Structures are given as structure tokens and as C-alpha cells.
Amino acid sequence: MNQDSKNLYICDDIVQYILDFTCITCHTCKKKYNINFAQMSVKFCEIQPFMTSVIIGATTMEQLKENIESVNINLSNELIKDLNEIQKIYPNPCP
């Protein structure tokens, strides 16, 4: 296996790891809490004590509005607890 194919293999593993984490989190949010995944993600980052800012990425005006609207949502203690439990399974989704 040459160096390029090894890096590609590692990259594929990381992508799958992130997709698994995202699917579990998205499913939890949609089914149990009926909350927008993008807004939940931005808000979850915003409330972390170690974060000083949250960088959003949007390619459409609709995505930008959706991300900005996250300032108007609240995450329940139960949702935060569930997200922290998921993070215990995937402590570093991008190794």
C-alpha cells in the first residue's frame, strides 16, 4: 500500500466515523426532540463554556437564516444530556 492509498483509507474511515456520529445525533434530535439539526449544532457549540465564538458555514441564504435563527432556540437539559451521552460513544468524531 503506497502512502497515498493509506491516507485515502484513513480519510474514508474518518468520513464514515463522522457520518455515523451525525446520523445518530440527527436521528436523536429529529425523532425525540423535533429540533432542527443545524440549529441544535450551533446552539450546542454556543453554550459550551470553553468556546468563545461559533463559526457558521452557509452556502445559501436559507442556510444562513437557519443558522442565525439558532439564537432563538433553547436546548432542554434532557437533550443536552443525550448529546453528551452520544459524545461518550464518539468522543472525537474527527481523529
Query: What is the C-alpha separation between 89 and 29, in angstroms, rounded?
Result: 16
* Per-residue model confidence (pLDDT) at position 1: 43
Cβ pair 17, 28 in contact under 8 A: no
Q: How many other C-beta atoms can be found within 10 angstroms of the C-beta atom of residue 90?
A: 16
Calculate helix-pair angle for 37-46, 77-89, nearest 10 degrees.
Answer: 90
Widest distance between CA atoms in the chain:
50
pTM of the model: 0.67
34 backbone φψ class: left, alpha, beta (φ>0; ψ -120 to 50) = left
pLDDT in tens, 4-48: 444 444 556 666 666 676 777 777 777 788 888 888 888 988 998
Q: Which residues contact 47 (CB under 8 A, 6 or more apart)?
A: 75, 80
Residue 82 pLDDT grade (very low, low, confident, very high; cuts 50, 70, 90): confident
